Amino acid sequence: MKAWKEYFETNQEITIQSLAAYVNQHIQQMWVSVLQDHYDELTDTFEKIGEPSYGVYIHKLLQPILKEVTNAGYNLKPGFNMPHSLEHWGPPEERERCMWCVVKDEHEKPVGTFVLRVFHSHVKFKVPLAPDILALDETEQDSIIAAISKANIRLNKKYRGVVHQNRENDQIQRWDYSAETGLSDYLTQNETEVSVLDYALSKWGKEGWELASVVPHEGRLIAFFKRPAS
């Protein structure tokens, strides 16, 4: 890992993107070793207090590198905390929480926002994937929430978010997806029999598709289907 002075050459403009990249190099190098070194303590803490134990892990992981950022004149207060976070994504075994912190320069001028993605289990203490820092230009809370609520921002390398697909193939269940936009046509006032809806869904079922979700959109019902990728 490069030190601060080496990473940020003299007269190089420091942006929220380069700051996030600097923090991320530390995370990628240290996340596993910190987890292993403190695993017994963290699992015991999880048994006692549950999800806040991941905050203990994140503090141990990030405290050294964030201290370098603050020593360079940046203000990260109040830091990453639960009130400034969202957790809407993933199953209980691999939830994704996004926590944000507005970064200010030495003149207290906002330069952007760090968004920390933390992957964790609610079932037992487990960090299945490396944490990740996104860099956003947005600094107002509503704009931050709007940005991280978009999957194409959280998973786009432009913002440093990554799609974690670097595990062994046998650890990843891959799916094919498809959709039908005409499901509501089988549910008119004159056609409310389940057998009519069954006709529409059975055509998908016989081809191995499983109904995953139904979402209303612009007066129609969109049915999403999935099946194991061949």
* Per-residue model confidence as pLDDT tens digits over 123-148: 999 999 999 999 999 999 999 999 99
Strands (E), the chain: 85-89, 95-104, 110-120, 132-136, 175-180, 210-217, 220-228
Q: How many CA atoms lie within 13 Å of 86's alpha carbon, on the beta-carbon side? A: 15
Q: What is the mean pLDDT of residues 175-191?
A: 77
pTM value > 0.75 = no
Q: Higher pLDDT residue, 99 or 185?
A: 99
Average pLDDT over every residue of 97-113: 96
Confidence band of 161 (pLDDT split at 50, 70, 90): low
Query: Has residue 155 got a pLDDT over 60?
Result: yes
Reply yes or no on whether the pLDDT at 95 is more than 60.
yes
pLDDT at 36 over 60: yes
Confidence of residue 101 (pLDDT cuts 50, 70, 90): very high
Query: Percentage of the chain with pLDDT > 70?
Result: 88
State residue 174's pLDDT score: 85
DSSP assignment of 111-168: EEEEEEEEEE-SSSS---S--EEEEES--SHHHHHHHHT-HHHHT-GGGT------S-
The 8-class DSSP code of residue 206 comes to T
Rounded distance, CA 161 to CA 154, Å?
5
- The pLDDT assigned to 88 comes to 85
Q: Write down the mean pLDDT value for the chain.
A: 87
Task: Return the higher-pLDDT residue of 25 and 167.
Answer: 25
Q: Does 185 have pLDDT greater than 80?
A: no
Q: Tell me the average pLDDT across 210-222.
A: 89
